[in-house]
Structures are given as structure tokens and as C-alpha cells.
Structure 1
């Protein structure tokens, strides 16, 4: 045979091809060897000596496609396995150290949190774990691939779902409430990936158990089937379940000092280092359930969805940045259409007597009495209204300002009689203060500024005075109907806005049976 000469320019190509082959083949063999050796090491089942990475990945993807709709957070779970090149890390790292047992044990105790453990695949996880630990249970590598893939996927899904539930709650409040503007941290993909990357499941599960004293007190009352005074056993249970879920939400104050208003308790507290240093009665916005016509035990189906009454005070957090003494009230259009123009039509001197100025296109109208208010309707209203400072001003003598999308604030009021009532959901949405000067004293401290505020609140000045706080103070307007007081006694307040009913309805299917 006559040898065929090889052209010089082919030599680099041949050498490169050989080099790639040499580099690639050992890598493949190593990968094959790792999965085989690791799976044999943890199971001691000789069938896993035949394990091949590419074959396992193919089976894994088929199993994942079957379970995708059955597990929570499938995109995060999938990204975890992709990131780790589909290595069966959970089985390799946790099969023989009791971590799977710890996970199923904690999930089994979810009923202590008022949640249903049966919606988790704990029985399958236990069965698959036992099968892998039995050196003779798996007789073919195909069955081995299937078993490992199922256990990896179900464990990852259950682990993340459980961790999210106890740390963040099972309901996102922003998805069920229309007027919820409280900063509330929710699970994110980085956190969930970090959860799956834990090397010690049991230690992590121990660390995330709720430790808040309020949570523990409510949890104990729930475990003991406590009956709250004034409620039936069933309604007591539901109050406690709702309270536990609210306490799991990551929206609690963290600052050393803050102002907090609890809507259904009609109360404001200034908290410093975990203790109330000032508290007072407040009035809040009118609600849809003020007569307690719907209760957690007996409610109309229409109450299951959040449909706020227009005057309900929103749930929010912000920062009090300033006060206005002898404030001007910029009357909202909703109040102007329902009240101001109606009163003006009945009494031509109503606006003058109430110190209300009328504006059109930004210009003040000198003689609003000349307007035929009987012809002004909500549809053709082209006026704006402002109430000047004075004893009759609906905001009283001072208002406390903080940024929010609902244009609400804390303020004084000339109408003090409402503070004598038990049910104080009577305002248009803002929060009326029982002791506004007391709050000013706490926020500003004693001194010249407080003296100016106190003096201006007595003297009827025609113009408002704006004063910035020396130190801005966080404010939280919350909605809590059930809690343990300082003596450990479980307190409850009627669900004046029906928000408990909405939450309880969304918890159906997730609660302990």
C-alpha cells in the first residue's frame, strides 16, 4: 500500500482533536466514577456501582416533569439542581445523618402551628429513605435512579415549603388585602437556595422555629384548645389560627423606638426598647364590619374577599417627619362630594361658619355663598375645599405627618366625645389622637420647641406652623385582633374591618384538621 502523505496544515487539527479527546474522556470517567462511588458509599448497595451520570440526569428530568406541578417553588428547586449539575447532593449529604428524619418529624408537628402536615409528602419521603437504606431493596440501576431522583425532588420541595411557612407564613398579605402597605419580607430565590444548601438540616430546622414570646403564648393557647373569654371554642380556635399566621409575617418593627397603632384595639403606643412608654386611645376609620355582623364563626360568603369600606384606615408603615400646628385641612374630594356640597346646599352659610375656603383652578373664590350649591353634583364638581385653622378645624390643633399613598395622618380633633365609646371606628380614615400634646412631648422632648407647639395649640393662629422632628420616628399602623397581654391572658377585639375573615378564608386547605 502506498502511504498517503499528510499535509502539514492537517497536523494541528489532528493534534487538537486528540488533545480534546484526552481531556474529555478522563473527565467523563471521573464524573461517572464520582456518582457511582458516592451512591455506593451512602447506600452500600452494589447496584449503584453501575451508576452513570448522563443516565441519571435523563431519569431525573423525567421524574421532575412528573412532579413539577406537585411541589412548591418548582423554578427554584430546578435551578438548585441545575446549579449543582444534578448531583444527588441531598441523598449523598443527608441520607445517613438523620436529617431526612428531622425534616419529616418537624413537618409532622406543623399542626402545633395550626397548619396541616398532610399536604406535605412525608410518607413518600420516609418510604424512599427506607428503600435507599435497605441494601437489598433496589435491584436494578434504573430503579435506583428513579428512587434517588424522587427523594431529591420531594425532599427539596418539602424542605423549602416548610422553611418558608414557619419563617414567613403561608399567605402573602399583599395578595389578599387591598389596603395593605406594610413592608413585609417574603421568601426569595436566594434564601430558598441557601436553605437547600444547608449541610445540617436538623440544626437549621431548630434555628428557624418561632421564638417570639407572643407567638409562643398564642401557640400554647392553641395547643391547649383554650377558650377566649366571650367567644365559643370554635371562634377562639379561629382567632388563634389567624393570630399565628399574622405573627409569622415578617413585618414587625425592628427599631428601638417607634409609634404603633393597632386599628381594632383603637390604641396608640410609643414603644422604646420593647416597652410602651406612652399609650392613648385613638379613633380610626369607619369599617365594613362595625356591628360585628360577620364573625369568624359565622360569616357571609361575600365577606371572604377584601372589599374595603371607603373610610377604612390602611395598614402601613412609614416615618413621622414633622408636625403642623394649627393645620389647614385639605378636604379630600370623596368627603367634599358626600358631605361638603350637601351641607352647603342646605345652608348657604355653612362654608363660612366652618371656615372653609373654596378654590377653583387654584384661585380662592371670594363669595362662595353666591354659588348655587344645589346644582353642584359629584359629576360636575369643579371646586376644591380647604378648612382654615381654628377651633372648628376637623384636624384639631396639630397633625403628625408621614409619607403614605393614602394621605392619612395622626391628628387632634375638636370632637372629643368619641373617645368615651368602646367602638371608635368613626373617622374618615385618619387616626384621631386622644392625647396629641402627649405624643408631641414624647417625640420632641421638653424644651423651646415643645413650648412653641403647646402655646400655638392654645392660640388661634390664622396660619399653620410647620415643625420638623429632630429625630424622625417610625410609625406602624397595624391590624391585630388577638394577642397575649403582659399577664399572659389572651385578649381579642372584634374584627371591625372583617380582615380576619378574609385571612381565615384564604387559609382554608392549609390549616390543621
Structure 2
């Protein structure tokens, strides 16, 4: 589709427009007629109108100057090549734009073209800087606040740029993750064009020592996927076992070297399926307001990990447990700032848990969950024997429930706070066995960490000479202790079924909450399509 579009755009008309000959056929002198046309056309868009008022309606695109010609060329090239970013070029209808530019015969026409160029530039710039979609309209777990650049500021920034082509390039996210995803998109599209990864493997369980036609198909698929060197071996030998393990690691599977049902299902995924994940990941990356420099915490819900990155480099990683795949427990996606940690925390039971899970138990037995204190509105502990729990419901339950600090506390021995309206935080847990599972979606929504102490040490290392000693001294008191972070750390709770690492293959994960499928459907509605699937 893109190649055909480029062939159409290589006509005499587009060449003339890019060089300035067609647009300049009517001189772009800022006469009242031109200004009036710009004012009228811009009136429907506050950002565009504000810019042109501030610029006294001087032309940004249609002037007969070298810089205006460079802006036109940079914009049209960016729109034609929008699919480099997974954006559909048809969304910007460059053919229609070129037609309007070629048909301009009067100063009024030129004013209308001027504003149309600005409108398409802002549409493209917004799409690239903050995404095409509003995530909050797609899934109730997508509570991410999107920071959109001011439209008038985008206009002014372009006007002040001496290199429009570089300016257009710099609109895209500059994080290494985005650049590597772009590269994977190109790789997958080339694979699709050449026929993909070949024949799929019959679903079954294959392990070292096996042989036969299915093993040959598995071998060929692993070779095509890039996890195994070319070989004529027809048996499940040590080389295949290592290749299966490498594949399992790259797909978040238990790396046991046995190709069971789950592994074969992932081996058989098509490049089209993987490309969807990459295109969705690129859109998600555009939603994310990430800094290239400094420290950040990334929690990838599909990968069941929490990571610390410093200047884009991974410096700490631990397994995590995330919200169960139920409507009221799925962990939401958002960004905030970690402010402090609490050592030996008290668990203040969320009201939803207290009323939906514990109140029915208390109605049957007032002494149930005896490790939890019942607290009234004045902060006083209530004697359960004096309470008739049968009179209460989820709406009128008047008590708070609390669990004292200790090794059996539901939050474990430390929690990490980035105060937010979703009541989500990172914490320790006494339920260590869950971290051995391949899929770790078991919590009520908060994020449990496998190595919370090491996570704390890593955070404290920025402000304490001996972070371990500092932490352990406060832990041993048994008292709840708040420790502020001298430098607050951005926290991004993300959901990526495709993500990259500095070295090694692109990582793919399952769509555990089904959110990527919803995003892909929304992208399709905006015109995003796989190669060969354009309508």
C-alpha cells in the first residue's frame, strides 16, 4: 500500500509542490484577503487561531521562501511515511491536500491551504507525541492521563525551527524502546512479505530424545524464528533443547527446555500476530510521558516484573504478582511518582475487601479473621462481641479494618508508595510460593514484589552510604517507619505484550487481560492495517 502511494506521489504535481512551484504560483504576500481567509479557516480551531493571531496571520507554509518550502516538504514527507510509526498514511489524506495545493489560484485559496497544512500538521504531531487513541475510552483499566502538547505551542515551535525535517523526526518518542519497536515493525513486515516463518508445529509435548516429522517442523520453525542455527538433525537434541529454552525466556514461559502445549502455541504465532503486538506497543509508548535520562520504575503487567532503569539502562529486576484477571481486580495502567516507602507497614484493608470479602465472614462468625482490628470513626478499636454484623451491608459498614505490622501482614514487611486515587502500590507479601508460577495474576490489584528488600536497597542506594544497614535497622524495630525518597522516582505501570531489551530478541508476552485486543480493534477503526489487509 505504501509503495503504491509513493508511486502516485512521485507525479509532476507533487514534485512541483515540494519545490514550491505550484504553491508559489500565487505569491503568498500577507494581503488582507489572505489574512481574512486564514482567520476564517482557523476560527474553528482555537490552537491554530491563537498561533495565527500571535503571528499577525503571516504564512507559515505558503510563503515564497526557502524555509516555507522546507516546511512543506518536511510535512508531506512525514505524512507519506506515517506508517513508519504505525500510523495510517490514509488518515492524513495527502492526495486531497496535494489537490488543494495544486488548485490554489487566489490569495483566498492560498489562505485556506495555509490553514489546511497547519491542521494536518497538528493532527500528525498530536498522533505522534501522544497517540491516536484516548485510552480511557477503550478499557476501564486504562486510566493513564495523556499529556498532550499545546497546539499553539506546537505551531510556534515549528515556526522557530531552522530544520523542519529534523523537527518532524523529533516529534516521535525518543526513548530507545520506541526506536527498537520501530525496527521490529520493519523486520516483521519484511517477514510477512516473504511468507512468514513457514509451517506450524502440531500441538503436543516434545522433549529431549524425541524424533520424527513433528520434531523436524519444530526445528525448522525455531530456525526461522532465529533461535536455532541451521541443522539437518531430525531429533530433539541438546541444541534444540537450548533453542527451546531461549525461545521460552523470550516469551515469558517456564524455561524447562520442554516444548509443551503452551510453548508450541507461542511457537506457532504468526508474524502478523506479533506485528499487532508491536503496533499496539508503539501506540502505548506514545501515551507514555517518559524521560530519557534519570531513574524510573517500570512495572509490566504482562511480564509480571518490576524494573528499575537508570538513564535507560536496566539496573534492577524482580518478579511480581499483579491483579487477578477479574473485573474488580485487574491492575490499572497509569503513571505516578514514588515518594516514600513504609517499613513494617500496617495494612489498612481497602473498603472493597472489607465489605465484600470479610463482612460476610464476620456475619457468620464475629471472631473470623481475628488478626484484623476493627476500628471505628474515632480511631478506637471495637470489641467484636459487641457488634451485630448482620445489620450491616457493603453500603453502611461503619468500621475500618487494620492488620498490625509483622511477618504475616498481607503487605509483608515493606511497601512502596506513589499515592494515587487508585490505591495501588508495590509491596512485600508473605505468599512467596506464587512467584514460582509462570502466570502471576493473583492479587487484588496492587503489585507484590518477589525481592522487596533488594528493591528497597536499590532505591536507598541513591541517598544512603549503606542502604542495607539503614533498612535493616528500621526493620528490626518492628515499628512502622516511613522513609522518604530524597529524589522521587517516576513509576510507570505498563502493559506490553511486545517490548524490547538492549540486547537479545524482542520479548513477547500473552495478552493476560485482553487489553491489547481492544486497542488493536480501536487502531483498526482508525485505519491501521496489517500488510496485505488494506481495504
TM normalised by structure 2 equals: 0.71
**Structure 2 residue 154 is matched with structure 1 residue 192:** yes
1:373-423 deviation per Cα after TM superposition (whole angstroms, max 9, x unaligned) = 345332332222111123321111222223222222221111111111122
Alignment of 1:48-447 (within 5 A): 53-58=31-36, 74-93=45-64, 97=69, 99-130=71-102, 143-173=105-135, 176=138, 178=140, 182=144, 184-197=146-159, 198=161, 200-208=163-171, 211-224=174-187, 225=189, 226=191, 229-288=267-326, 309-352=327-370, 355-365=371-381, 367-445=383-461
Judged with a 3 Å threshold, the aligned counterparts in structure 2 of structure 1 residues 375 and 164 are, in CA distance, closer, same or farther, namely closer
Offset, 1:179 = 5.0
SS of the residue corresponding to residue 220 of structure 1 reads helix
SS of the residue corresponding to residue 123 of structure 2 reads helix
Indicate the residue corresponding to 1:7 in structure 2: none
Judged with a 3 Å threshold, the aligned counterparts in structure 2 of structure 1 residues 316 and 255 are, in CA distance, closer, same or farther, namely farther
Judged with a 3 Å threshold, the aligned counterparts in structure 2 of structure 1 residues 474 and 220 are, in CA distance, closer, same or farther, namely closer
Indicate the residue corresponding to 2:526 in structure 1: 509
SS of the residue corresponding to residue 393 of structure 1 reads coil
1:147-206 deviation per Cα after TM superposition (whole angstroms, max 9, x unaligned) = 313321221212222223223322244555545565643120332221452465334334
1:292-348 deviation per Cα after TM superposition (whole angstroms, max 9, x unaligned) = xxxxxxxxxxxxxxxxx2223233333333332222111111001111122223444
User: Where does the alignment leave 5 or more consecutive residues of structure 1 unmatched?
Assistant: 1-39, 69-73, 133-142, 289-308
State the number of aligned residues: 431
Offset, 1:260 = 2.2
> C-alpha distance in 2, partners of 1:41/1:126?
13
Offset, 1:237 = 2.4
Judged with a 3 Å threshold, the aligned counterparts in structure 2 of structure 1 residues 180 and 253 are, in CA distance, closer, same or farther, namely farther
SS of the residue corresponding to residue 153 of structure 2 reads helix
> C-alpha distance in 2, partners of 1:331/1:62?
58
Q: Is the 8 A contact 2:51 2:152 kept in 1?
A: no
Offset, 1:248 = 2.2
Judged with a 3 Å threshold, the aligned counterparts in structure 2 of structure 1 residues 208 and 229 are, in CA distance, closer, same or farther, namely farther
SS of the residue corresponding to residue 107 of structure 2 reads helix
1:415-451 deviation per Cα after TM superposition (whole angstroms, max 9, x unaligned) = 1111111221211121111011111222224767743
Offset, 1:455 = 5.6
> C-alpha distance in 1, partners of 2:484/2:33?
68
Offset, 1:128 = 4.4
Judged with a 3 Å threshold, the aligned counterparts in structure 2 of structure 1 residues 64 and 330 are, in CA distance, closer, same or farther, namely closer
Offset, 1:100 = 2.5
1:43-74 deviation per Cα after TM superposition (whole angstroms, max 9, x unaligned) = 786x869x893444455566668xx5xxxxx2
Judged with a 3 Å threshold, the aligned counterparts in structure 2 of structure 1 residues 258 and 53 are, in CA distance, closer, same or farther, namely closer
SS of the residue corresponding to residue 91 of structure 1 reads coil
Larger Rg: 1
Q: Is the 8 A contact 1:317 1:476 kept in 2?
A: yes
**Structure 2 residue 511 is matched with structure 1 residue 495:** yes
Q: Is the 8 A contact 2:48 2:118 kept in 1?
A: yes
Judged with a 3 Å threshold, the aligned counterparts in structure 2 of structure 1 residues 192 and 471 are, in CA distance, closer, same or farther, namely closer
Indicate the residue corresponding to 2:254 in structure 1: none
Indicate the residue corresponding to 1:4 in structure 2: none
